[in-house]
Amino acid sequence: MRSAWKHRTLGEVMVIGGVELYVMALPLCEHIYLTEIHANLSGNTWFPDYDAGEWRARQDRSPARPGQPLST
């Protein structure tokens, strides 16, 4: 992952899971585009834990609305 990151030619790289890729890429990231889903869902793969205190919000939150259980 570090070698690929170092040789990237694009301005921005998006990592779209799974969890192993997130774990490898998170220490290299400058930004996180995060959507939180406020619902109980079945599944066995989640975004890895991270220290939210190491990041600062650059945009306001869009709160969840009735019938739409997610916020960004």
Tracing tokens 């998006």 back to the chain, one arrives at: 14
Q: Which amino acid is at 26?
A: L
Number of domains in the chain: 1
The share of the chain scoring above pLDDT 90, in percent, equals: 4
Total count of residues recorded for the chain: 72
Conformational region of residue 43, where left means phi above 0, alpha means psi within -120 to 50, and beta covers everything else = left
CATH at residue 23: 3.40.430.10
State which residues form the domain around 63: 1-72
The share of the chain scoring above pLDDT 70, in percent, equals: 83
Q: What is the pLDDT of residue 52?
A: 86
